[in-house]
Amino acid sequence: MDWSAVDWAALERLRATFLAGTAGASDYWQSESGLASYDLTFAQRIGWKWDYVLAELARRDWTPPPGELLDWGCGSGIAGRAFLDFFGQDAVTTLRLWDRSPRAVQFAAGRARQKYPGLAVQSGLPDSPATLLISHVLTELTPEQTEALADFAAQAAAVIWIEPGTYAASLTLIAIRERLRDRLQIVAPCTHQTRCGILAPENERHWCHHFAAPPPGIFQDGNWARFARTLGIDLRDLSLSFLVLDQRPAPPTPPGATRVIGHPRVYKPHALLLGCDADGVCERRLTKRALPEAYKQLKKGRCDPLQIWRCQDDEIIETRPL
């Protein structure tokens, strides 16, 4: 599909359903044109979040285990395609798709077969997938269904789970992390295996969220401008929460490895960064005088989410990329 064929009415219906929180009530995929239009627009934005997470996994020297890839709640299939684009179709034996909507499964399978000739594409749930992909499903599940999905995830060799970067989604993923961390190793976003520091009473106002970057060209693209205007979408906002688990030992991280949560708050003489490490979650100060180049990058809106910090009390006195 190209932009001239977009079903804008279908996109507006989908947007209203998502905002109303009623997406879990029924199958909202009403037509092939609606799926194709979603795949060209909303799904691409989700795909950019997947690109962010997969790039981080490569940076951490993580590779997928051999075997089947299951895209659970596949929708138009963007998560599976993002994974295959990044790691290559030879990284898996089979792409398996599951969704409550037969129309969505059929669409996702068709796109996958077209894009990856020779790849085995099947539907349905296996007993225990090698790699399980879950994407933007929490708002459609009851608490009981979420618990059941978490228990199913525990049977996978590896799990990559991405959700919107909201307070509610973050806390749910944290609860799943805690539920599964005695059965699976935590690969990301954390740099440690200990209890999540967000759960400390003093961190109640915080949530674990991060920001992907959209391709710069979309801001000069008239089609994306119309999408943003018609659907009320801020193209800059690609916040996400995510969780990556693995049966294998997680790639090691060095002492001082820290995950920066959210956006730093930059002031004239210093910046405040919320960091998560094995000791917990706390806000630390980076001063312009002590670390002028690091401060300059923060001032420009550039912040590496994975860093190694050396701190003195609540001040960062040395930082470098992980």
Kindly report the pTM of this predicted structure: 0.96
Tokens 């799990």 label which residue?
159
Q: Please report the pLDDT score of residue 23 as a whole number.
A: 81
pLDDT at 314 over 90: yes
36-45, pLDDT tens digit by residue?
Answer: 999 999 999 9
Spatial contact of 81 and 109, defined as CB atoms under 8 Å apart: no
What band does 181 get if pLDDT is binned at 50, 70 and 90?
A: very high
198-248, pLDDT tens digit by residue?
Answer: 999 999 999 999 999 999 899 999 999 999 999 999 998 899 999 999 999
Q: Please report the pLDDT score of residue 237 as a whole number.
A: 82
Provide the sign of the torsion angle of the four alpha carbons 25, 31, 35, 38, taken in this order: negative
Pairing of strands 94-98, 69-72: parallel
Counting every residue, how long is the chain?
322
Q: Please report the pLDDT score of residue 148 as a whole number.
A: 97
CB count within 10 Å of CB 122 equals 14
262-286, pLDDT tens digit by residue?
Answer: 999 999 999 999 999 999 999 999 9
Integer CA distances (angstroms), 309 to 78, 260, 271, 313, in order: 35, 11, 14, 12
Quote the percentage of the chain above a pLDDT of 70. Answer: 100
pLDDT at 91 over 90: yes
132-166, pLDDT tens digit by residue?
Answer: 999 999 999 999 999 999 999 999 999 999 999 99
Phi-psi region of 189 (alpha: psi -120 to 50; beta: other; left: phi over 0): alpha
Q: Please report the pLDDT score of residue 303 as a whole number.
A: 95
What band does 24 get if pLDDT is binned at 50, 70 and 90?
A: confident
